[in-house]
Amino acid sequence: MQWFGRGKEENPEDFWKRTAERRGGEIGFLTFATLLGRSDDEPLDLPGLLYTVGEAAWFEDFERDNWLAKIIGGRRKFEKTEISFLRSEVQAAQLVARSAATRCIAGGLPAEEIRAISGVGKFFSTPVVQVRLAGGSSLFFDMIRRDLFISMVSSGEWPKAAPVTPSR
């Protein structure tokens, strides 16, 4: 038997150590997230990690292994996406309807007109996080730890450091 195309995966502890060194501090908040896009821009739908280091939040995506593209051919070259924003740039974070986020990303709804999703609205639409930045733009994320992120932004207190591997 032979294995093809399987590389050795990096140890998570090594990855986070390297990331902390590269970003100049210890990892604080951490969650899996999908970057849906930025207001008045193109939709992205990039899965990755959202984390904080000091006063900055970082998002970076990772290459997906698409088996169907390998069969059919025409595999596109992966282009890594990394974005960051400072805590001081964040004006607010709120849960909004994914449909409103999609309209805002496409330019059909101004970011400042998006309202927080209601309790009832959560049953009819997927809630996503709108991060309103100074200057009027917004970023939209679908994330696992969205309630913690929103409370962290609301309190103005970003964790200085936190365990990056899940505790049992």
**The domain that contains 58 carries what CATH number?**
2.30.29.30
Overall domain count for the chain: 1
126 part of a folded domain = yes
Residue bearing the bigger pLDDT, 138 or 72: 138
Q: Record the tokens describing residue 136, joined without a space.
A: 């009027």
**Beta carbons within 10 angstroms of residue 97's beta carbon:** 21
- Order of strands across the sheet that contains 27-38: 82-86, 56-61, 46-53, 27-38, 138-143, 127-133, 90-97
Radius of gyration of the chain (CA): 18
**How far is residue 162's CA from residue 52's CA, in Å, rounded to a whole number?**
10
93 part of a folded domain = yes
Could you give the percent of the chain with pLDDT greater than 90? 57
110 part of a folded domain = yes
Q: Record the tokens describing residue 91, joined without a space.
A: 């004006």
From 14, 5, 49, 4, select the one nearest 28 (Cα to Cα): 49
**C-alpha separations of 21 from 25, 26, 32, 75 in Å:** 6, 8, 20, 32
pLDDT for the residue 73: 62
Residue bearing the bigger pLDDT, 160 or 138: 138
Q: Record the tokens describing residue 149, joined without a space.
A: 């992120």
Range of the domain at 56: 12-155
The neighbouring-strand residues paired with 132 are: 92, 138
168 part of a folded domain = no
The predicted model gives 9-17 an average pLDDT of 80
* Band of residue 13 on the pLDDT scale cut at 50, 70, 90: confident
31 part of a folded domain = yes
Residue bearing the bigger pLDDT, 121 or 141: 141
Model confidence pLDDT, tens digit, residues 21-74? 999 998 989 999 999 999 999 999 999 999 999 889 999 998 776 666 566 666
**How far is residue 86's CA from residue 56's CA, in Å, rounded to a whole number?**
4
105 part of a folded domain = yes
Residue bearing the bigger pLDDT, 79 or 9: 79
3-state secondary structure of 105: helix
3-state secondary structure of 166: coil
- Evaluate if residue 133 carries a pLDDT over 60: yes
pLDDT for the residue 166: 44
7 part of a folded domain = no
**How far is residue 98's CA from residue 8's CA, in Å, rounded to a whole number?**
36
* Band of residue 156 on the pLDDT scale cut at 50, 70, 90: confident
The predicted model gives 146-160 an average pLDDT of 87
